[in-house]
Chain A
Amino acid sequence: DIQMTQSPSSLSASVGDRVTIACRASRRIDTFLSWYQQSPGKAPRLLIHSASTTLGGVPSRFSGSGSGTDFALTITNLQPDDFVTYFCQQTYSRPTFGQGTKLDIK
């Protein structure tokens, strides 16, 4: 299995800030990488697939980058609803997920 490692595991920021969450694959996965957002008690929400393709309806504040083994999710101008958990997923082979990054308000 391809192992996915996110960093940091938790992150504190303020409304209006810009943050970046990293995700590293244990081997090269081209751009087969997705990002999800999850609020407590809610269904996960797909934000980005293919490393940088943002789904319709996702605010332009969210962007993804990277290829090979190193990827990043960047959120600019943080809004109150953004302070939840984010996780990455490789889709190169049968999917595996990162451990998640919890974003909380400083």
Chain B
Amino acid sequence: EEQLVESGGGLARPGGSLRLSCAVSGFSVSGYSMNWVRQGPGKRLEWLAYINDGSGQIFYADSVKGRFTVSRDDARSSVFLQMNSLTDEDTAVYYCAREALSGHWYFDLWGRGALVTVSS
């Protein structure tokens, strides 16, 4: 079964950092572009970051550019999101999502999400 499982969520202080991991199983992550999407309480889904399957091309939403870093380790079947300088606006459920076709921006597989709470 193809699956994405996020981990690494939890409580962080404002200004702090967290690193999310997305464990891939059931398919080879090397053939896919991967994304991170979040949903804050009472808010709509917000796309955050994209990492290409081949060239390593990376894009970020303006809201996280300079603070978040997406990376991948295909050998470990994993994708990561390093989150720094966290604020309470970053409180959300964070999802890892697979792009069905690179560059087409629709996501055919999602994880169940990891909850990140930023609070003092």
Contact = CB atoms under 8 A, between A and B. Distances in A.
Interface of A: 32, 34, 41-46, 49, 55, 87, 89, 91, 93-100
Given A87-B44, A95-B47, A97-B45, A46 B105 contact: no
Interface string B30-53: 000000000000001111001000
A96 B47 contact: yes
A40 B51 CA distance: 27
A99 B44 contact: yes
Contacts of B97: 44
Interface residues of B, number: 21
Contacts of B47: 94-97
A42 B3 CA distance: 12
B80 interface: no
Nearest to B98: A46
Nearest to A33: B106
Contacts of B109: 43, 46
A65 B25 CA distance: 33
Contacts of A99: 44
A91 B106 contact: yes
Interface stretch (B7-15, B70-78, B83-91, B110-118): B110-118
Contact of B59 (A89, A91, A94): A94
A100 B50 CA distance: 22
